[in-house]
Structure 1
Amino acid sequence: MLQTIASTFGQIILYLIIIPSVLGAGLVFANRSSKRQVVTYFGFSAQIIAGWFGIVIHEASHLLMALLFGHHITSFRLVRSPNRNDPSDNSLGYVNHTWNQHNFYQKVGNVFIGIAPIIGNTIAIYFITKWLLPSSLTSWQTLITDHDFISPTQITPTYGFWGFIIWILVVINICLGGFDLSPADLKNSSLGLISLLVLLVLVTVIASLFGWNTSLVTLIQSIMVPFITAMLFALLIAVVTTLVLRIIGHFR
Structure 2
Amino acid sequence: MNFFIAFFQTLLVSFIEMLYLVGGMIVVGFILGALERLSNSYLTRAFGPKGVMVTAWIGTPIHEIGHLIQCFIWGHRVSRVRLLQLNHPSGILGFVEHHYNPNSMYQQVGNFFIGLGPIFSGIGSLILGMYFLVPQSFLAFKTEVEQHIQFQQLDLTLLKTFWESISIICKSLFTIENLINPLFWLFLIMAFSISSHIALSKADIKGSARGLSTIFIVLVLLNIISRLLNWDTYDLIVKLAGYNTYVLAFSSIAILFSFITLLISILLFIIKGRMVR
TM over 0.5: same fold?
yes
CA distance in 1, matches of 2:75, 2:14: 27
Q: Is the 8 A contact 2:68 2:96 kept in 1?
A: yes
CA distance in 1, matches of 2:171, 2:100: 52
Q: Is the 8 A contact 1:110 1:188 kept in 2?
A: yes
**Deviations 1:184-223 (Å, cap 9, x if unpaired)?**
11122222222111123344566684456434422331x3
Question: Are the structure 2 counterparts of residues 167 and 212 from structure 1 closer, same or farther at C-alpha, using a change threshold of 3 Å?
Answer: same
Deviation of 1:90 after TM superposition, in Å, equals 1.8
CA distance in 2, matches of 1:114, 1:95: 11
CA distance in 2, matches of 1:188, 1:150: 34
CA distance in 1, matches of 2:39, 2:197: 9
CA distance in 2, matches of 1:235, 1:20: 12
Give the aligned partner of residue 18 of structure 1.
23
Deviation of 1:242 after TM superposition, in Å, equals 0.2
Give the aligned partner of residue 234 of structure 1.
254
Structure 2 counterpart of 1:188, one-letter code: G
In structure 2, the residue corresponding to 1:105 is in which secondary structure?
helix
Give the aligned partner of residue 249 of structure 1.
269
> Map of 1:90-105 to 2, 5 A cutoff?
90-105=91-106
Q: Among residues 62, 66, 70, which one is paired with 1:65 in the alignment?
A: 70
Give the aligned partner of residue 47 of structure 1.
52
Give the aligned partner of residue 29 of structure 1.
34
Q: Among residues 159, 176, 182, which one is paired with 2:201 in the alignment?
A: 182
CA distance in 1, matches of 2:233, 2:81: 42
Give the aligned partner of residue 218 of structure 1.
239
Q: Among residues 184, 190, 193, which one is paired with 2:212 in the alignment?
A: 193
Q: Is the 8 A contact 1:121 1:178 kept in 2?
A: yes
Structure 1 counterpart of 2:220, one-letter code: V
**TM-score, normalised with respect to structure 1:** 0.81
Question: Are the structure 2 counterparts of residues 150 and 117 from structure 1 closer, same or farther at C-alpha, using a change threshold of 3 Å?
Answer: closer
CA distance in 1, matches of 2:55, 2:264: 14
Question: Are the structure 2 counterparts of residues 20 and 150 from structure 1 closer, same or farther at C-alpha, using a change threshold of 3 Å?
Answer: closer
Question: Are the structure 2 counterparts of residues 12 and 97 from structure 1 closer, same or farther at C-alpha, using a change threshold of 3 Å?
Answer: same
In structure 1, the residue corresponding to 2:93 is in which secondary structure?
coil
Question: Are the structure 2 counterparts of residues 15 and 159 from structure 1 closer, same or farther at C-alpha, using a change threshold of 3 Å?
Answer: farther
Question: Are the structure 2 counterparts of residues 164 and 8 from structure 1 closer, same or farther at C-alpha, using a change threshold of 3 Å?
Answer: farther
In terms of mean alpha carbon deviation, does 74-83 or 123-132 score higher? 123-132
Deviation of 1:250 after TM superposition, in Å, equals 1.0
**Deviations 1:31-85 (Å, cap 9, x if unpaired)?**
12222323333343342332322211111111111121111111111111133xx
**Deviations 1:144-188 (Å, cap 9, x if unpaired)?**
549596697765467952122112111101011222x22211122
CA RMSD of aligned residues (A): 3.2
Give the aligned partner of residue 56 of structure 1.
61
Deviation of 1:16 after TM superposition, in Å, equals 2.5
Structure 2 counterpart of 1:194, one-letter code: S
Structure having the higher Rg: 2
Q: Is the 8 A contact 2:32 2:198 kept in 1?
A: no
Question: Are the structure 2 counterparts of residues 152 and 43 from structure 1 closer, same or farther at C-alpha, using a change threshold of 3 Å?
Answer: closer
Unmatched tracts of structure 1, length 5 or more: none
Number of matched pairs:
245
CA distance in 1, matches of 2:169, 2:206: 44
